[in-house]
Amino acid sequence: MIPARFTPLVDATAELARRFTDAGYRLYLVGGPVRDAFAAAGSLETIDYDLTTDARPDAVEGLVAGWADAVWLQGKRFGTVGVLKGTRHYEITTHRAEAYSPDSRKPEVVFGDSIETDLSRRDFTVNAMALRLPDLELIDPFGGMADLAAHRLRTPLAPEVSFSDDPLRMMRAARMVAGLGLEPVEAVVDAIGALHDRLSIVSAERIRDELDKLLVVPRPSPGLWLLVRSGLAGVFLPELPGLALEQDPVHRHKDVLAHTLAVVDKTSPLRLLRLSALLHDIGKPRTRAFENGGVTFHHHEVVGARMAKERMKALRYSTEDIEIVTRLVELHLRFHTYRLGWTDKAVRRYVRDAGALLEMLNELTRSDCTTRNAARARALERRMDELERRIVELRAQEEIDALRPELNGDEVMAQLGITPGPAVGDALDFLMELRIDEGLLGEEEVRRRLDQWWKGRAG
């Protein structure tokens, strides 16, 4: 009898498996779905399936024709045919043994007929298990089941071979450590330390995508610590190990790296929020100074925003992603500038500056408190609660989420008798500051204030 948690896998692959077996080919389910099926306590639901077969790519394409709703052939020259059936995605790859040449980013693919050889070229033993379809025979030549039970991270071949074949696997190790709670064996850690520079042959886009996947696991810090300790982070994100400021025996400031990783863990697993948490203090090493018996990091948020922008550009993040993260880094201390209470003016300005990022900024600010001082932590929570109450109150009174001057450009020109030009922008800036400082004043009062401002400007 098939265990209940394997039933979705059978249902999702039965018809496809029949097509291959009827044609004399073997088909295997591999990778994450197999690993998770054995690790899961309950039923397994997925829409992405990785399969491998002894059928060559042309044969695979023919076998899925007429069954698939859509077929993608972009990866066919590497042996992979992509298939969509309903809501399920399948990647069917011919058995292969691939390796990177020492100075190349492109895999050299050789097709094969052996499932064992195919599995030997996979990243880790827990991912080097296969279920032969349709009878679900387990193929586990490298002890992946035992490693999964022991929470152990190993490679099927020597780690030097595995990581040389695809250096991105060193980053993937960090994700496996953080996401699955696996402990890397000493040989894996040593190999990453010895080969970390080889990551430089991997494209920035692949590195970026792997970092994003790590950041959205429930608790990324164990993986991030591995990246730093192994030297791997220094290859693609040198600002991160740069946060490991030495503890000063006199000033006793906190370790910025440990603080940063704690903030990452505290935030919700949203990609850009987590990335903002990772980068929010990267300006501290450049701005550190010792003053009056203490340590300061004046304007580290401004410096950090510039550094975050340059690093994200190097990792090929989109312009939109860069704008969001750099804005959050720049604003993450804004809350602390309002120490004397939340006046209407302060709330309006805070909401205006945060814009659509308000909720993420508030969460980043809350998460940024990692102090062990319980009284200080409670005080911060109270101030954040007060801010959020004031936002709710002002929202009920006025449209603070879409603050704009009470007169538009045409009305300003008509009121002042001027034509388009810089003066119109200056007038709108004045009206916006008036709106933030004093709220809604009404058209008559706003026109009177505008006239008064214009006369003062002319004088």
pLDDT per residue as tens digits for the range 152-211: 999 999 999 999 989 999 999 999 999 999 999 999 999 999 999 999 999 999 999 999
Do 139 and 161 sit in the same domain of this protein? no
What CATH number is attached to the domain comprising 107? 3.30.460.10
Q: What confidence tier does 295 reach under pLDDT thresholds 50, 70, 90? A: confident
Structural domain ending residue among the three candidates 182, 208, 236: 236
Q: Measured at the alpha carbon of residue 286, what is the angle toward residues 281 and 289, in degrees to the nearest 5?
A: 100
Q: Strands 27-30 and 80-85: what pairing?
A: unpaired
Do 64 and 202 sit in the same domain of this protein? no
Residues 6+ apart with CB under 8 A from 382: none
Using N-to-C axis directions, what is the helix angle for 256-266 and 271-279, rounded to 10°? 160
Do 180 and 321 sit in the same domain of this protein? no
Do 242 and 254 sit in the same domain of this protein? yes
Residue 333 has pLDDT above 80, yes or no: yes
Q: Whole domain around residue 410: which residue ranges?
A: 404-458
3-state DSSP call for residue 93?
Answer: strand
Q: How far is CA 356 from CA 334, 360, 367, 393, in A?
A: 16, 9, 19, 18
Do 393 and 293 sit in the same domain of this protein? yes
Highest mean pLDDT among 73-87, 285-299, 335-349, 433-447: 73-87
Structural domain ending residue among the three candidates 360, 380, 401: 401
Do 426 and 323 sit in the same domain of this protein? no
Task: Provide the pLDDT for residue 100.
Answer: 55
Do 140 and 285 sit in the same domain of this protein? no
Do 175 and 114 sit in the same domain of this protein? no
Instruction: For residues 395-417, give the mean pLDDT.
Output: 82
Residues paired with residue 48 on neighbouring β-strands, in sequence order = 89
Do 295 and 379 sit in the same domain of this protein? yes
Q: What confidence tier does 251 reach under pLDDT thresholds 50, 70, 90? A: very low
Do 213 and 304 sit in the same domain of this protein? no
Instruction: For residues 283-302, give the mean pLDDT.
Output: 84
Structural domain ending residue among the three candidates 236, 269, 289: 236
Residue 360 has pLDDT above 80, yes or no: yes
What CATH number is attached to the domain comprising 217? 1.10.110.30
Do 142 and 167 sit in the same domain of this protein? no
Q: How many Å apart are CA 336 and CA 332, to the nearest integer?
A: 9
Look at the pTM and tell me if it is higher than 0.85: no
Do 392 and 346 sit in the same domain of this protein? yes
What CATH number is attached to the domain comprising 345? 1.10.3210
Q: How far is CA 304 from CA 307, 309, 326, 400, 439, in A?
A: 5, 9, 8, 28, 33
Q: How many CB atoms lie within 10 A of CB 183?
A: 13
Residues 6+ apart with CB under 8 A from 449: 434, 441
- For the chain, the domain total comes to 4
